Amino acid sequence: MLANILIDGIAYGMVLFIIAVGLSVTLGLMRFVNLAHGAFAMTGGYLAAWLVGEQGWPFAWGLLAAVVLTGLLGMLLEALVLRRLYRRSELEQVLFTIGLTFLFVATANLLAGPEVQLIPLPGWLKTPVDLGIRTLPAQRLLVIAAGLAVLLLSAWVLGRSRFGIWLRATVDNTGTAAALGIPVQWVYALTFGVGAALAGLGGILGAELMPLEPYYPIKYLVLVLVVVAVGGMGSITGSAVAALALGTIETASKYLASDWGSLFFFLSMALFLAWRPQGLLVARRA
């Protein structure tokens, strides 16, 4: 039982993490409240469903293309529209991005109808893998592996690469960073794009757990926000820990107390936030 809870919980947590990490970074870096983030996850999923399902592309290529396209869409949106809102109040950002979300939802319905979109998995992902304690479809293992990859890669990029240095500098003090010759606008655009691309990846990988349908961005918005808030805005490891912890709690409650619904999830979230309002791993501000 425990093994089951852990495995399913980690898989679910990884999906939440992959989707949420982009929002956490944009929120922490640009202080921009983008509630349309779930729409990127949906876009990635829909694109993959279309490319792999209808156009018949092989799964890996379809996934790659969908993720890249979503990232480009994110960059485009940032450069054309969202950039103007950076100086606005939080409430205005919230409302604008909610409006944007509504537009995404309506467009998804217009283009693809109200049904759930399925991404056909290739045979090798559907085969059950016997771990000894439990058999689970290979797809879940892929999700866990992808989550780990994203975590490690982002930690490496932030810590070791030049872009990471630019990013951290821009977060700490945008003016000085720009004065030093760092292309701040590009850093913003690229970071936003990568966040959107990751959300798209999460949407594709999580399509089994969180079905793709037009209301997706609204339905799962709360979950993503919870992960970001509990993990701490801007903290990637924080998001990972929050996602895994909350994902496991939610899965455990499904196994042990399913008629309580998501109550324990939200209770835990409230307790985590009350204990650490700035985020799980973020040092308390004085």
> What's the closest the beta carbon of residue 259 comes to another protein, in angstroms?
6
- Tell me how far CA of residue 110 lies from CA of 46, 98, 114, in angstroms: 13, 18, 8
> What's the closest the beta carbon of residue 129 comes to another protein, in angstroms?
11
Asked if 47 interacts with another protein (CB under 8 A), we say no
> What's the closest the beta carbon of residue 5 comes to another protein, in angstroms?
8
Q: Which is nearer to another protein, 190 or 223 (CB)?
A: 223
Asked if 56 interacts with another protein (CB under 8 A), we say no
Asked if 157 interacts with another protein (CB under 8 A), we say no
Asked if 225 interacts with another protein (CB under 8 A), we say yes
39: its two tokens: 């729409």
Q: Which is nearer to another protein, 142 or 218 (CB)?
A: 218
| # binding residues, another protein (CB under 8 A) | 68
- Tell me how far CA of residue 232 lies from CA of 86, 96, 227, 257, 281, in angstroms: 20, 23, 8, 28, 7
Distance CA 146, CA 125 (A): 13
Give 47-108 as a DSSP string: HHIIIIIIS---HHHHHHHHHHHHHHHHHHHHHHTGGGGTTS-HHHHHHHHHHHHHHHHHHH
Distance CA 18, CA 239 (A): 9
Asked if 183 interacts with another protein (CB under 8 A), we say no
| Binding residues vs another protein (CB under 8 A) | 1, 4-5, 8, 12, 27, 33, 84-85, 88, 90-92, 94-96, 98-103, 105-106, 109-110, 113-116, 118, 126, 128, 134-137, 208-211, 213-215, 218, 222, 225-226, 229-230, 233, 251, 254-255, 258-263, 266-267, 269-270, 273-274, 277-278
